[in-house]
Structure 1
Amino acid sequence: MKPSLAKGTRDFTSLEVSRRKYIINILQKNFELFGFQPLETPSFENLSTLTGKYGEEGDRLIFKILNSSINEAKEEKKTQMLNDFQKALDKPFSAESLTDKALRYDLTVPFARFVAMNHGKLTFPYKRYQIQPVWRADRPQKGRFREFYQCDADVVGSESLWQEVDLVQLYLKSFAKLKVSVTIHINNRKILSGLAEYAGITDKLIDFTVALDKLDKIGKDGVVKELLERNISQESIDKLDFLFNQSNDALENLLQLKEKFAGNEIGLKGVEELEFVITQSLNLGVNIQNLVFDITLARGLDYYTGAIFEVKADEAQMGSIGGGGRYDNLTEVFGVKNIPGIGISFGLDRIYLVMEELNLFPEEAASNVEYLFANFGGEETSEALKLIIQLREKGISAELYPESAKINKQFTYAEKKGIKNLVFLGEEEVKNNTVTFKNLEAGEQKTVSLEEFLNL
């Protein structure tokens, strides 16, 4: 049988792992710089924890886990259960005998579950960051995988809009350190609710936001077509036509909304909140070009209640490489009220692809061995290992070629692995307490004293 990967998954080479760690280390350092503490949750959750939190489309992308009880059942019972399973394939999974657990879809809902279970022990506002894989039964394509990492930072227990302002700073500082030029698109879920009220489609809010969220993928005509398919009238769509003709001036667009939202309480509240976040961010030195009010930004997750963010790379076509928002009611579904929250996520896999495309990874992002010691056999090999141990004690990577092979073979090995220096510790060097090494990048060869070598 020819080996293959499961669709939507990947292997990572040593270079890819090192580069991913480079991104993660920068994000982790910035998370902690902003006061966030680490948390990890299980790879799978109870199915009931996840369903109903991501909207209709999100629920369909949850990876359900077949109950292990099917494998443990007696033969006749197993046959019946498998028959039930086959019947369930064409309808939503609801039979607990088939599946009651699922791989986590994101890190936010498991975090909300954790807060609900532990709120009596936590100090609020509680700030956590989490860097772990998630799974979605999506159609794989460039930048979209079925298994991928999310890097999240969330604050719960505070309604202060200064949290939004601080998260804008976290985004910009992190991407500046990665040298990725980005634009943060921002909107407010209350504005979307206000637009639905303005157009007389309050009962169609979810249909409206799900369609609007696809604007950058299917264009205005595609959104209008989908709105009509979702039984939203042409009259209502006409009232919303101004959405597709926004100016580049965020404050001017907000002023236009204020006029349309006269007497629209929730819409005006959204405008007020967004004005605060944008104004204070600009006061802190954020370039208006880096923070864009995007009135069509919807983000298709049902749990957002206030600000919503989406980050896009300026110099690469990759869709969003980060996103998030405020979710003041999320813990209520777990029986715990009055714990407002807001969080953002960095898309590790897409950030990697952007940095690779733009050649932004520095040399230190690769974990290459510093020294390879040629193997001459006999006493020299033992002396080489003693020196290797001393290098490792100093935190310098070094290894011995395992066999006493022809020197050309050892050269080839070093070059293919990207090892920087090939060390020769032969009979003459051992006798004179010297070390000869060749820098394979520069092609220069030197002989120095043992003490000098250890202090390079």
Structure 2
Amino acid sequence: MSKSKPSLPRGTRDFGPEVSAKRSYIIDKIKKNFIKYGFSQLETPSMENLSTLTGKYGDEGDQLLFKILNSGDYLNKTSEDDYERGSKHLTSKIADKGLRYDLTVPFARFVVMNQHEISFPFKRFQIQPVWRADRPQKGRYREFYQCDADIIGSNGIWNEVELTLLFNDVFNDLSLEDYIIKVNHREILFMLAEYVGLKGKEVPFCAEIDKLDKIGSEKVVENVLALGGDAGRMSEVMILLTSSDVNQLIDKVKSIAPENTGVKEIMQYFESLDQFKDKNLKVDLDLSLARGLSYYTGMIYEVKPTSVQMGSICGGGRYDNLTGVFGLQGISGIGISFGLDRIYDVMEELNLFPEKITQRLDVLIVHFNIENLKHGQRIVMDLREAGIKADLYPESDKIKKQFNYADKIQAPYTLIIGDNEMESGEYMLKDMQSGEQKPLKLDEIIQLFKG
């Protein structure tokens, strides 16, 4: 029987030591800031009941859910009639669980199930993989990580401000300076839809505005007019959608609808940001920002790099009553998500990763014979207990082979143990890049690395 070559499912990836180290670097910076801002960590199962997941993402989202076959003889309770009624009906008979599509719906489910143990407002962060049965292509995978932070149970505008500051602090820690935080408000978009004569068609209007970057302004106008919009007023709106003057934008939308909730909240938001001018926040009001997900109801965010050709690297917004689908009404929430994979690509292109984060070791201990190897076992543990990343070549091989191994794993130093070193208590420390070496006592070696 011929053996097939090992392979990966399409849309999934292995991450070797170097890539994993860089991804962990990003995750650690994000997680540190989540904790600094008072978010508690939450983890939910990889799989959820399909009843939890279906109907929350729209028809297209339902198609992209990975379903899990029931345990045992999953066809046992099916009949010929089930097959004749089609795949959608049959699926309900043979699969009652699925892999999670995002982290937000499982979070809403968690809140409802634990509402009596949670103190509101509840701030949680979650960094876990999600799965979508999408067509794999560049930048789009079937398994990928989301790094989410949500605040649920509070309507105050400080939440919107705080999440903006969180974006800023994470990117400062990553030394990523070339980005812009774009903000808008769904209520302003709904107001503009009404202004052009599309009351009752706000969601289709937002869907067309969301395509502005992809299909251009002419096609967007054409599509909005096809929905029944007024041509004259749509021309006025297009000027707003392409303007970057925040004060002018706010003045214009105030003149159209001074009592609009979105206008008031955007004004409060920018007034609150004024007290943080020292942070050099990179925030723009962009009325063309619409965000695709239908559950957003208030302010929305999108973060885009400015020196790299890339889509958004973060996004989010306020959503009202997402928990309502699980029976807990009237709870408002707001959340943001960091796109780990795209942030990685931007940082790689801009060469922003510190050199040493992929360095596995500080020093590798090499030796000449079995007695030297045994002596090195105590030395390596002393180095590790001092907080030094140390390893011991595990076999009594030729010294050349051990040095070749040190080169391959890019160990910056080797510590050489021979009979003379064992006798004197001074060990030869070799700089693998320069080739320089000098004898040092163990405490001197520890001080050198720590200091």
Residue in structure 2 matching 1:125, options 121, 142, 163: 121
Residue of structure 1 in register with 2:444 after alignment: 452
After the TM superposition, which residues 19-418 of structure 1 pair with which residues of structure 2 at under 5 Å, given as runs? 19-68=22-71, 71-74=73-76, 80=80, 83=83, 87-88=86-87, 95-181=91-177, 182-224=179-221, 227=224, 232-233=227-228, 235-236=229-230, 239-245=233-239, 246-261=242-257, 268-285=260-277, 290-418=282-410
Q: Which runs of 5+ in 1 are unaligned?
A: none
Structure 1-normalised TM-score?
0.90
The 1:403/1:288 distance shift into structure 2, 3 A limit, reads closer
Greater Cα offset, 53-62 or 23-32: 53-62
SS in 1 for 2:55: coil
Q: Which runs of 5+ in 2 are unaligned?
A: none
Q: Any conservation in 1 of the 2:426–2:441 contact (CA below 8 Å)?
A: yes
Deviation at 1:344, TM superposition (A): 0.8
Change (3 A) 1:156 1:239: same
Distance 2:431 2:194 in 1: 70
TM-score, length-scaled by structure 2: 0.91
Between the aligned partners of 2:202 and 2:70, the Cα distance in structure 1 is: 36
CA distance in 2, matches of 1:106, 1:52: 13
* 1:75-95 deviations in Å (ceiling 9; x for gaps): xx678599469x42xxx5685
Give the length in aligned residue pairs.
442
C-alpha separation in 2, matches of 1:394 and 1:237: 73
Give the direction of change, closer, same or farther, for the CA distance of 1:94–1:156 in structure 2 (3 Å limit). farther
Q: Which moved further from structure 2: 322-331 or 143-152?
A: 143-152
| CA distance in structure 2 between the partners assigned to 1:239 and 1:48 by the alignment | 43
Query: Counterpart of 2:128 in structure 1: which amino acid?
Result: Q
Q: 1:44 to 1:205 in 2, by over 3 A?
A: farther
Q: Compared with structure 1, are the counterparts of its residues 96 and 193 closer, same or farther at alpha carbon in structure 2 (3 Å cutoff)? A: same
Q: Is the 8 A contact 2:295 2:322 kept in 1?
A: yes
1:370-413 per-residue CA deviation (whole Å, 9 max, x = no partner) reads: 11111322211100111011111122222222333333322221
Runs of 4+ in structure 1 displaced over 6 angstroms? 286-289
CA contact (8 A) 1:143 1:353 kept: no
Cα distance 1:260–1:286, how it changes in 2: closer, same or farther (>3 A)?
A: farther
Describe the superposition over 1:314-362 as per-residue Cα deviations: whole angstroms up to 9, x where unpaired: 2211211111111121111111112111111111111111111110001
SS in 2 for 1:306: strand
Q: Report if aligned partners of 1:251, 1:275 keep a CA contact under 8 Å in 2.
A: no
**1:193 to partner: Cα distance:** 1.5
| Gap change, CA 1:227 and 1:139, over 3 Å in 2 | farther
- Across the aligned residues of Structure 1 and Structure 2, the Cα RMSD in angstroms comes to 2.3
C-alpha separation in 1, matches of 2:79 and 2:371 = 67
Cα-to-partner distance string for 1:128-183 (whole Å, 9 max, x where unaligned) = 11111112223333332221111111111111011101111011111111111221
Q: 1:62 is paired with a residue of what secondary structure?
A: coil
Distance 2:149 2:33 in 1: 10
Decide whether aligned partners of structure 1 residues 180 and 7 sit closer, same or farther in structure 2, where only a CA change above 3 A counts.
same
Per the TM alignment, residue 102 of structure 1 is displaced from its structure 2 partner at its CA by 2.1
Distance 1:429 1:413, change over 3 A: same
Q: Distance in 2 between matches of 1:446 and 1:288?
A: 48
Q: 1:94 to 1:53 in 2, by over 3 A?
A: farther
User: Does the C-alpha gap of structure 1 residues 398 and 328 become closer, same or farther in structure 2, counting only changes over 3 Å?
Assistant: same
Aligned residue number for residue 433 of structure 1? 425
Q: Is the partner of 1:240 in helix, strand or coil? A: helix
Contact kept, 8 Å, 2:182 with 2:285, in 1: the verdict is yes
Deviation of 1:364 after TM superposition, in Å, equals: 3.4
Q: Deviations 1:183-210 (Å, cap 9, x if unpaired)?
A: 1010111112212222232332222222
Asked whether the 8 Å contact 1:305–1:327 carries over to 2, the reply is: yes
Distance 1:153 1:3 in 2: 37
TM-superposed deviation, 1:44: 1.7
AA at the equivalent of 2:158? W
C-alpha spacing 1:2/1:348, structure 2 compared with 1 (3 Å): same
Task: Say if 1:250 and 1:417 are closer, same or farther in 2 by CA, change over 3 A.
Answer: same
Residue by residue over 1:33-59, the C-alpha shift from the partner in whole angstroms, topping out at 9 and shown as x without a partner, is 111111111112222222332334433
- Call closer, same or farther: CA 1:166–1:223 in 2, change over 3 Å: same
- My pick for the range that moved more, 360-369 or 34-43, is 360-369
Displacement of 1:14 in angstroms is 0.8
- Counting aligned pairs with the same residue, the percent is 48
Q: Relative to 1, partners in 2 of residues 1:369 and 1:253: Cα closer, same or farther, differing over 3 Å?
A: same
Equivalent pair of 2:383/2:446 in contact (CA under 8 Å)? yes
C-alpha contact 2:373 2:394 (8 A) present in aligned 1: no
